[in-house]
């Protein structure tokens, strides 16, 4: 019985990417359609936030848009999404919006009470720097992470923050100086041993 459930789950998992795809639509067309829809939604969201200069989207619950400020751990996600849409499409409208919403996150560089600074700064300023080479973006990252650096990466205190640490590890080679990234694999992965990666 248990084996049947596992096989059924694996089958459903293998065909789930095809659920949104019509029989005559190529994978490339489906991706383009998805990017187009994501872009439309991002533009609507950006338009709704124009009159709220410090607001960033947090979630959509019970038919209502919930907002946050730069202090919210998700504050860098929307600017990051706009940067990725710009990267995928080359559309300068996305770039302009990404720049504007990235600026809203800048005060986070002064925060010392959060372990989510990687999400906040790397998604927004990190992608902006990666795609434009704007030195100010790198300065913001360095100032913000410099306040929370422990051996070169943003320090996190919870052993289950593997996603945060993955962002740190991804960016370790992009920031100047030697880096030691320490992280703990979640116990749910069957391990709880500390690991370190050193890079010069």
Same domain, yes or no: 135 and 199? no
Q: Is residue 59 part of a domain?
A: yes
Q: Of the candidates 125, 147, 169, which is a domain's last residue?
A: 147
Same domain, yes or no: 140 and 158? no
Mean pLDDT for 84-96 is 95
Taking every pair of Cα atoms in the chain, the longest distance, rounded to a whole number of angstroms, is 59
Q: Is residue 18 part of a domain?
A: no
Choose the weakest-confidence range: 95-99, 129-133, 166-170: 166-170
Same domain, yes or no: 120 and 158? no
Same domain, yes or no: 174 and 92? no
Q: Is residue 7 part of a domain?
A: no
Identify the pLDDT of residue 131. Answer: 95
With CA atoms as reference, report the closest residue to 123 among 156, 151, 164, 93.
164
pLDDT band at 128 (very low <50, low <70, confident <90, very high): very high
The residue written with tokens 């248990």 in the block is 2
pLDDT band at 80 (very low <50, low <70, confident <90, very high): very high
Q: How would you classify the pairing of strands 194-199 and 56-61?
A: unpaired
Identify the pLDDT of residue 43. Answer: 96
Count of domains in the chain?
A: 2
Q: Is residue 20 part of a domain?
A: no
Q: Is residue 81 part of a domain?
A: yes
With CA atoms as reference, report the closest residue to 124 among 113, 134, 114, 111.
134
Same domain, yes or no: 29 and 99? yes
For residue 166, the enclosing domain spans 150-200
Mean pLDDT for 103-118 is 88
Identify the pLDDT of residue 118. Answer: 81
Q: Please say if the pLDDT value at position 67 is more than 90.
A: yes
Two structure tokens written together for 22: 């019509």
SS (H, E, C) the chain: CHHHHHHHHHHHHHHHHHCCCCCCCCHHHHHHHHHHHHHHHHHHHHHHHCCCCCCEEEEEECCEEEEECCCCCCCCHHHHHHHHHHHHHCCHHHHHHHHHHHHCCHHHHHCCCCCCHHHHHHHHHHHHHHHHCCHHHHHHHHHHHHCCEECCEECCCCCCCHHHHHHHHHHHCCCCCCEEEEEECCHHHCCCCEEEEEEC
Same domain, yes or no: 127 and 161? no
Using CA atoms, how far residue 127 sits from 47, 146, 147, 166, in Å, is 21, 18, 20, 15
Q: Is residue 2 part of a domain?
A: no
pTM: 0.68
Q: Of the candidates 147, 165, 183, which is a domain's last residue?
A: 147
pLDDT band at 179 (very low <50, low <70, confident <90, very high): very low
Q: Is residue 19 part of a domain?
A: no
Tell me the percentage of the chain whose pLDDT exceeds 70. Answer: 62
């Amino acid at each position: 019985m248990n084996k049947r459930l596992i096989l059924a789950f694996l089958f459903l998992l293998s065909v789930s990417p095809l659920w949104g795809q019509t029989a005559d639509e190529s994978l490339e067309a489906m991706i383009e359609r998805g990017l187009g829809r994501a872009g439309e939604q991002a533009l609507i969201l950006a338009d709704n936030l124009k009159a709220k200069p410090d607001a960033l989207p947090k979630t959509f619950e019970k038919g209502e848009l919930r907002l946050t400020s730069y202090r919210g751990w998700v504050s860098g996600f929307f600017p990051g999404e706009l940067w990725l849409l710009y990267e995928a499409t080359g559309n300068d409208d996305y770039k302009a919006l990404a720049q504007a919403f990235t600026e809203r996150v800048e005060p986070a560089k002064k925060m010392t009470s959060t372990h989510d600074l990687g999400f906040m700064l790397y998604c927004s300023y990190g992608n902006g720097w990666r795609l434009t080479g704007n030195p100010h973006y790198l300065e913001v990252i360095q100032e913000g992470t410099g306040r929370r650096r422990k051996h070169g990466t943003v320090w996190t205190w919870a052993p289950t923050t593997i996603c945060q640490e993955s962002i740190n590890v991804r960016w370790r080679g992009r920031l100047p100086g030697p880096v030691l990234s320490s992280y703990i694999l979640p116990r749910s992965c069957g391990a709880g041993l500390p690991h370190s990666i050193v890079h010069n």
